[in-house]
Chain A
Amino acid sequence: MDQRLRTQISVRVPIQRDGSPGAIEIAQRVFCRRLRIRNVRFALQSPRIPNTLWFGSSPQVLRTTLAGPEQGMIGITACAFGRAPGDEKALYVTTDGGFLIPHESGVQNAKLVRMEVGESGRPLLQEV
């Protein structure tokens, strides 16, 4: 097996009537190469490019780098749109400061960063 392959599994845990968990179900299992997209939010996506890049994605699948190390975005781990009134067009991004994959500048503080991206997010899924 290619050592770069990873096993990705989605599991589903039913919520029973009394709120307790039911038996686990393995909903999907796939083998893939290194995880490329670390965290996804509609209108923008955050590929896990070590330490550096931040991508935007339009419906035409155009990619734009919105921030890099020079903007302090080292070790991006996740992102989510704001939900407070007036905050909907803000994208919050977490970083680990290069803790997992160090940047040449060394490990920096972890951060919560707010970016005004000019468009609101949308939920990926409303109901399963």
Chain B
Amino acid sequence: MVTPTEDYYSDHDGGKFAPIEATTVATWKARSFLENLAVDADGAVFVTVYSHNRVDRYDPAPGVTTTFAEVPAPPMGLAFDAGGVLWMTGGTLYEGPGFIWRVERTGAVRQWCELSGRHLHERLHDASQWANAFGLREFLPAISSRSIWANRAAGTCGFRGSDSGPSCPNIRGRTGSKSTRAGRGSASQDAD
């Protein structure tokens, strides 16, 4: 099904059209879903491949793309902190839970915390309607020395949140546990 742009945003006129040169530097097979990207201090571009549960790395110097890390759930937002550590959010859309992972320079992935949709609903006791838990969708590019910020989005046609009021801590942190395989490796110009 094709949805004309104007059906979504009829108030957008697009502004002036002034195309500039665009060079495709890497491709993935059709139906691969690239969700987000971040660039590290050395200029390498990291792309979350939601459809393949992994993060790919594009190095502009040689123009090569490789698999950088694999994660147990679809990755979404990502951002680097001042120390060069890559932080990622993820989770399956419309399903819970959401996750925050910490990825070392080596590509080693560690689940930093899990965000339960049920618990979040309990915290949002005054919410009128909710969709099923959405995975953590995006990082705001905001990682301070003290906290991680992330956005979480939900649609509308779901169940009613609990009226029981705020609950006890709704996050399960796992520092140093549940590591997953990762690492630089095979060329992945095209996703499998």
Contact = CB atoms under 8 A, between A and B. Distances in A.
B37 A127 contact: no
B187 interface: no
Interface string A70-107: 11110001111111110100001111110111111001
B169 A23 contact: yes
B149 A10 contact: yes
Interface residues of A, number: 85
A84 B60 contact: yes
Contact of A63 (B14, B27, B142): B14
B179 interface: no
B100 interface: yes
A53 to B, nearest CB: 5
Contacts of B115: 11, 24
Interface of B: 1-3, 5, 8-9, 12, 14-45, 47, 51, 58, 60-61, 65, 100, 112-113, 115, 120, 123-124, 127-131, 136, 138, 140-157, 169-171, 173, 175, 191
Interface of A: 1-15, 18-24, 26-27, 29, 34-36, 39, 47, 49-53, 55, 62-68, 70-73, 77-85, 87, 92-97, 99-104, 107-117, 123-125, 127-128
